[in-house]
DNA sequence: CAGCCCTAGATTGCACACAATCCACGGGAC
DNA sequence: GTCCCGTGGATTGTGTGCAATCTAGGGCTG
């Protein structure tokens, strides 16, 4: 009894993955016919996928002029990180009392794996860090089980995709970021929401500093 | 040079207005053909309007089973108000230094008008309160000019539409709510973001208490 | 009589064709 | 040379028909 999946869903998932993986440069035009051919469906599901991605904030939709991959100015990025720092610590705090042992184990494994591929050494692979990071933060959202918060966050977490790799991080910031994940797991294991919230706040502000620096450099060029 | 509007936009605006005005009961089925006839367009723009409204959180979209007017459980409502109390005071604080004299005047007029139609007396008209309230909060969003925050809020502000009239308010709560609007304008005029944030926080928690009580009663029935 | 299957009607999902709109590129006027 | 305007090609917007899917109801089986 495999649930049949509609073309729209496939197009949506495929497109989101393409964008998140950075297959398009920020601001790149997304022609409907081109995407339709590339994904092997007609324009109709492509259009629907595009409007949904626009709602997620991944693409920008201009009437009569089609879709572009979303991009953010430095000012907008500041707003986005401001938002994240309001929402994500709160979400983390809510997740603490709800986390099951399986959740903690999963988070712990993700955090450990990120240490492996994130730190300098033979296993370093900064690109592998991106999906792991997404899964870590995504898991927290699932645990918290707050649909309103989740949808509100969805629009914000995708924002820094244009600086989507971790190459923007200097080594000190990267080590901090990886350590934060581990510490968040520790706080959850200890059942201490205040601790978890605090670390998440630091985590986001650390990322904010890195991203804004990178965005400023990029904007200056 | 009147900007031509697409059928989708008209359908979107019309549908949103219908839902917000409470022309449908919460959970009501929204058939595509029925809406298409009612709005005088084909199914295509209706479908697109529905997906966009789903993104706004006004309708729920189930694959192969169409659209329904969104509804919220008590638990979800709690989450929504939690979210609003995190975002809207912050937004209000950001709006304070940005408000122009014209903005303050507009807010003041709205607050005054709400007093007129809200308080018991010959001019009382609780239904007229709804759009005024929307305009007041919407104006604050415009003034703050924070697109990320605005989109995050958009999903939350529509939530209580099923209890969309102000009849759920007991008189004390209603008086408080109306007074809050006036006081927010005073705080903005004084250029005091802390004051504005505080009143907005109180405003939302006041609404939260009313709405949750109403929702519980409704759910119990 | 309860439960299951199967069919019929209704509804959504998708593709395609045509209409409306936009954008780039020349040609002309000043 | 610069600006304006018109035209052609490309792209998005919309209508419609058909396929896929769901839901309700009746008849069959145990």
Q: What is the pLDDT of residues B115-170, one digit of tens each?
A: 999 999 999 999 899 999 999 999 999 999 999 999 999 888 888 877 777 889 99
pLDDT at A160: 81
Mean pLDDT across A45-54: 96
Q: Please determine, for residue B208, whether its predicted confidence score (pLDDT) is greater than 90.
A: yes
Asked if B47 CB < 7 A from strand C, the reply is yes
Distance, in angstroms, between A170 CA and closest chain B CA? Answer: 27
What the block records as the tokens of A77 is: 């990025």
pLDDT digits (tens, 9 = 90+) for B10-57: 999 999 999 998 899 989 999 999 999 999 999 999 999 999 999 999
pLDDT band at A162 (very low <50, low <70, confident <90, very high): confident
Residue A159 DSSP symbol: G
Mean pLDDT across A80-89: 96
A221 three-class SS: coil
pLDDT at B160: 81
Asked if A66 CB < 7 A from strand C, the reply is no
Q: Please determine, for residue A217, whether its predicted confidence score (pLDDT) is greater than 80.
A: yes
Question: Measured between CB atoms, which of B48, B54, B79 is closest to A148?
Answer: B79
pLDDT at A150: 94
**Which residues of chain A approach chain B closer than 8 Å at the C-beta?**
6, 9, 47-48, 51-52, 54-55, 57, 63-64, 76, 79-80, 82-83, 86-87, 90, 146-149, 151-153, 155-156, 159
The set of strand D positions with any atom below 7 Å of a protein CB reads 11-17, 20-23
Closest CA to A59 of A89, A18, A94, A99: A18
pLDDT band at A187 (very low <50, low <70, confident <90, very high): very high
Residue A69 DSSP symbol: E
Distance, in angstroms, between B47 CA and closest chain A CA? Answer: 9
Mean pLDDT lowest among A184-188, A214-218, B42-46, B160-164: B160-164
Contact check, Cβ <8 Å, A152/B147: no
pLDDT band at A115 (very low <50, low <70, confident <90, very high): very high
Taking the stretch 22-41 of protein chain A, residues with Cβ within 7 Å of any atom in nucleic acid chain C are 41
Mean pLDDT across A162-185: 92
A5 three-class SS: coil
pLDDT at B70: 93
Asked if B63 CB < 7 A from strand C, the reply is yes
pLDDT at B161: 79
Mean pLDDT across A203-212: 96
Q: Are B44 and B146 in contact (CB under 8 A)?
A: no
Q: Please determine, for residue A2, whether its predicted confidence score (pLDDT) is greater than 70.
A: no
A27 three-class SS: coil
pLDDT at B99: 98
Q: Do strands B59-62 and A59-62 pair parallel, antiparallel, or not at all (unpaired)?
A: unpaired
Q: Please determine, for residue A208, whether its predicted confidence score (pLDDT) is greater than 90.
A: yes
Q: Are A39 and A46 in contact (CB under 8 A)?
A: yes
Asked if A146 CB < 7 A from strand C, the reply is no
Distance, in angstroms, between A163 CA and closest chain B CA? Answer: 18
> In angstroms, how far is C14 C1' from A41 CA?
9
What does the DSSP assignment read for chain B? -PPP--HHHHHHHHHHHHHHTT-S-TT-EE-HHHHHHHHTS-HHHHHHHHHHHHHHTSEEEETTTEEEE----HHHHHHHHHHHHHHHHHHHHHHGGG--HHHHHHHHHHHHHHHHHHSSSTT--HHHHHHHHHHHHHHHHHHHT-HHHHHHHHHHHTGGGGG-SGGGS-HHHHHHHHHHHHHHHHHHHTT-HHHHHHHHHHHHHHHHHHHHHHHHHHHH-
pLDDT at A152: 93
pLDDT band at B3 (very low <50, low <70, confident <90, very high): low
pLDDT at A220: 80
pLDDT at A84: 96
């Amino acid at each position: 009894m495999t649930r049949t999946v509609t073309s729209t869903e496939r197009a949506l998932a495929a497109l989101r993955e393409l964008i998140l993986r950075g297959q398009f440069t920020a601001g790149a035009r997304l022609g409907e016919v081109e995407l339709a051919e590339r994904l092997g469906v007609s324009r109709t599901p492509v259009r629907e996928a595009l409007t949904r991605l626009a709602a997620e904030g991944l693409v920008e939709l201009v009437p009569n002029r089609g879709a572009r991959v979303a991009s953010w100015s430095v000012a907008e990025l500041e707003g986005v990180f401001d938002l994240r720092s309001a929402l994500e610590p709160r979400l983390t705090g809510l997740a603490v009392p709800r986390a099951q042992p399986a959740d903690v184990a999963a988070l712990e494994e993700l955090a450990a794996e990120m240490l492996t591929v994130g730190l300098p050494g033979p296993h370093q692979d900064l690109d592998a860090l991106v999906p792991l990071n997404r899964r870590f933060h995504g898991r927290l959202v699932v645990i918290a089980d707050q649909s309103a918060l989740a949808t509100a966050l969805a629009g914000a977490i995708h924002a820094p995709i244009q600086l989507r790799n971790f190459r923007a991080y200097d080594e000190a910031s990267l080590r901090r970021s990886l350590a934060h994940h581990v510490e968040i797991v520790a706080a959850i294991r200890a059942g201490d929401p205040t601790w978890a919230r605090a670390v998440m706040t630091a985590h986001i502000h650390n990322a904010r500093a890195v991203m804004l620096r990178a965005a400023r450099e990029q904007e200056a060029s």
